[in-house]
Amino acid sequence: MSSTTPHHDAEDSPQLQNKDGKMKATFNPRQLNVIWGRDSRYWKMPEKNTGGPAELLQVCWLEVSGSVPIGSVQAGAKYRITFQISLKSDAFGWNNCPVYVMAKFGKKGKYTWKKISLQADYSQPISIPTEGLEIETTAQNAADTIYFGLYEVWSGKWKGGLLLHNATGEFTIGFCRDYTIQRCNKHKQDATILKLSFKDGSYTVDQGFPGLIKVPVKALDITWGNDTRFWQQIDLTDHDTQEIGFKEGMLLLQVNWIEVKGNLNIIPTEGTKYEIYYMVKFRVDAFGWHSAPIKFKVRHKGEETHSNIMILESYREKHDVWHEIPGGEFSVASKEPVNVEFGIFEVDSDWWKGGMVLGGVKIKAKSG
């Protein structure tokens, strides 16, 4: 059933990308909330996937807004917001009718704002404010949502002929730029990872399910895993623990470089094939997975035995449920201890992604 509201509600979320140490999100008009946006007397919204502007025909109440969940970042991070607009030749009502660009942290936060007087010669797209509206995180709001908007709701004057092209948020987060050299802030493996005991804390054999090895997140090597701007260690609920067999998980807030690796020695059953599964759950606000090819690798006895690339969007669409995502397999021919390396990687696309919980890794003996 179609909506009867006269207002346009934001669709989807813009894709976060990084450049020179900054995250940038560009909102097209359909990704913004537009008061009266569904009423063709007042606004003409672009069709989906056309990339065109929204045209303001006539309103006396101008309100266009959006929001950006920022996860958890350090205090002092700066956020710069602009709207890209232009005026048609028949634009009217803007003389002595300034607009305001406003932003705040959290729904109960206090707005920061700038007043802009629109000029008749804005025939080409221009950013307002010219230098952007900048707000800065503090210790109190460094794990909140930014709410921002373009407003003129006070004068009571009718105005029209404005084209809204997009809105942009540029976020300076100060992460390390040379990933390949610095490997910043890794989540370190437990020192016990290479021991051969099944009960040394690095992994366990499930006594109720022979042939099942469980590797907790603490035994994994996660790039950026110790930086709470990007990953956070969390306690899983009793229900989650009962379902997947792990008590702790790692919540991916936002990264463009995914590298999660495991390395352990196991005492296998002779002539057995093993399969590796990653226990993963996507939150409802997960983003960036539709264009991020994830590579799964397995190395056995120092040689790569499996490599596969998957897009995880189909898993993301089924949010808030646990998925066993296959990560490869390996075979052993004797009972001698063997070394197995495994991992998931996405280091090429520059797409920002987040909203994923990694619960652990299961290695299962394959029947037959």
pLDDT in tens, 270-280: 667 889 999 99
Nearest to 159 by CA among 64, 102, 100, 90: 90
Beta bridge partners of 187: 222
- Statement: residue 9 has pLDDT above 50: yes
> Alpha carbon of 149 to those of 22, 39, 99: distances in Å?
21, 20, 10
* Burial of residue 15, with CB atoms counted within 10 A of its CB: 0-12 exposed, 13-18 middle, 19 or more buried: middle
Confidence of residue 37 (pLDDT cuts 50, 70, 90): very high
340, exposed or middle or buried, with CB in 10 Å at 0-12, 13-18, 19+? Answer: buried
Cis peptide, bond prior to residue 129, ω within 30 of zero: yes
- 3-class SS of residue 252: strand
In 3-state terms, the chain is what percent helix, strand and coil (to 5)?
A: 5, 50, 45
Among 198, 197, 239, 246, CA closest to 218: 246
Tokens of 100: 């305001």
pLDDT confidence band for 143 (50 / 70 / 90): low
Domains in the chain: ranges and CATH: 17-172 (2.60.120.260), 179-365 (2.60.120.260)
Whether 67 shows a pLDDT value over 50: the answer reads: yes
Per-residue pLDDT at 17: 66
Give pLDDT tens digits for 95-123.
Answer: 989 999 999 888 778 889 999 999 877 88
Among the residue ranges 41-50, 84-93, 177-186, 254-263, the one predicted with the least confidence is: 177-186
Helices (H), 161-269: 179-182, 238-244
Distances (CA, A) of 90 to 86, 122, 125, 200: 12, 12, 16, 75
CA–CA gap between residue 22 and residue 17 (Å, rounded) = 8
Q: How confident is the model at residue 42 (pLDDT cuts 50, 70, 90)?
A: very high
Question: For residue 56, which of 169, 168, 158 has the smallest C-alpha distance?
Answer: 158
pLDDT at residue 108, rounded to an integer: 78
Average pLDDT over the chain reads: 81
8: tokens are 């346009």
Query: Using 50, 70 and 90 to split pLDDT, how confident is the model at 356?
Result: very high
Instruction: Tell me the percentage of the chain whose pLDDT exceeds 90.
Output: 47
Could you tell me the two tokens for 3? 């909506």
